[in-house]
Amino acid sequence: MLYHRLPAIGIFVGGLIVWEGVVRAFDIKGFILPAPTAIAATFSAETADLLTAGAGTFSTALAGLLLGGALAVLMALAAARWRFVRDGALPFAIAANSTPIIVLAPIANSWFGLRSPFASIFVVAILVFFPVMINLVRGLLSVEASEVELMESYAAGRLTTLWKLQLPNATPYLFSALKVAAALSLIGAIVKEFFGGSQDRLGQYITTKAGLLQFEEAWAAIVLASIFGIVLYNVVVLIERRVIPWHVSVRNV
């Protein structure tokens, strides 16, 4: 396991060393690109503020992800069960999924108020809703005709077929959507904060510090946001391994 990680670790450490070396050798100014050591020093000096901001942003991102994900699951189940729901809702969902929904951020601020956490949760929820729903519907419907006939031969009802065939069939689709949604949720939360909101949030922290030309601080916040993103993604991956150990993407051959 560790052996397979060595190349990635090598590239990571090597990248940091090259970054540090380039910044020092060419005397690059901090407002263009601070050195990793400078960012690390700022990180430890500003830990308390950063973690407060990070916790606020992360919790709204998580709340939005859970809300949007739950609504998407309900909607997808309805769309799989009733054809008219599918025919009515899916074209709009696909259309919405190809528009940059994040542009709703300033509008959400005016709807919910700048300081309301619901503005962030709303933006994140709507951002993750469409990809999760569309993927889940695809998974629910992409069952083999022979599997459906098998269920019919047992005189299984619609709900039984949904529960025992379609839903398990769709879980790999759900997880690949959730991995995308995990990243989207942090993007949504932070970009929404760029447009205003509570001061102790990562988005506001980054814009404020950048405005004050304190780029080490801004970079420290960017690093923290990245760490949150990576952690969230890996939590989804861990859950996926537990829930679908049978799937090709997970099984140990």
Partner 1 sequence: MSALSLSGVGKVFNPGSDQEVRAVHGIDLEVGRGEFVSVIGPSGCGKSTLLRLIGDLTPPSAGTVSVNGKTPARARLDRDYGMVFQSATLLDWRKVAANVELPLEIMGMGEAERSRQAAAMLDLVQLGRFAGHYPWQLSGGMQQRVAIARALAFKPSILLMDEPFGALDEMTRERMQAELLRIRAETGTTVVFVTHSIPEAVFLSTRVVIMSSRPGTITEVVDIDLPEPRSYETREDRRFFDLLTKVREGLRAVEAS
User: Which residues bind to partner 1, rule: CB under 8 A?
Assistant: 144, 146-147, 149-156, 160, 164-165, 168-169, 171, 244, 246-247, 251
SS3 6: helix
**Residue number with CB closer to partner 1 (165 or 236):** 165
CB of 163 to partner 1, least distance (A): 10
CB of 164 to partner 1, least distance (A): 7
Radius of gyration of the chain (CA): 22
Are 203 and 190 in contact by the 8 Å Cβ rule? The answer is: yes
**Residue number with CB closer to partner 1 (90 or 156):** 156
SS3 98: coil
CB of 135 to partner 1, least distance (A): 17
User: In 3D, which of 66, 63, 61, 79 has the Cα closest to residue 170?
Assistant: 79
- How far apart are alpha carbons 69 and 75 in whole angstroms? 10
**Residue number with CB closer to partner 1 (25 or 155):** 155
Name, in order, each residue with C-beta under 8 angstroms of 228's C-beta and a sequence gap of 6 or more: 54, 57, 58, 61, 186
Are 192 and 124 in contact by the 8 Å Cβ rule? The answer is: yes
Are 151 and 165 in contact by the 8 Å Cβ rule? The answer is: yes
CB of 178 to partner 1, least distance (A): 17
Q: What are phi and psi of 249, to 5 degrees?
A: -70, -15
Instruction: Write out the two tokens for 48.
Output: 């308390």
- How far apart are alpha carbons 188 and 40 in whole angstroms? 26
**Residue number with CB closer to partner 1 (44 or 153):** 153
**Residue number with CB closer to partner 1 (39 or 80):** 80
CB of 167 to partner 1, least distance (A): 10
**Residue number with CB closer to partner 1 (96 or 156):** 156
- How far apart are alpha carbons 170 and 23 in whole angstroms? 48
**Residue number with CB closer to partner 1 (6 or 155):** 155
CB of 171 to partner 1, least distance (A): 8
CB of 154 to partner 1, least distance (A): 5
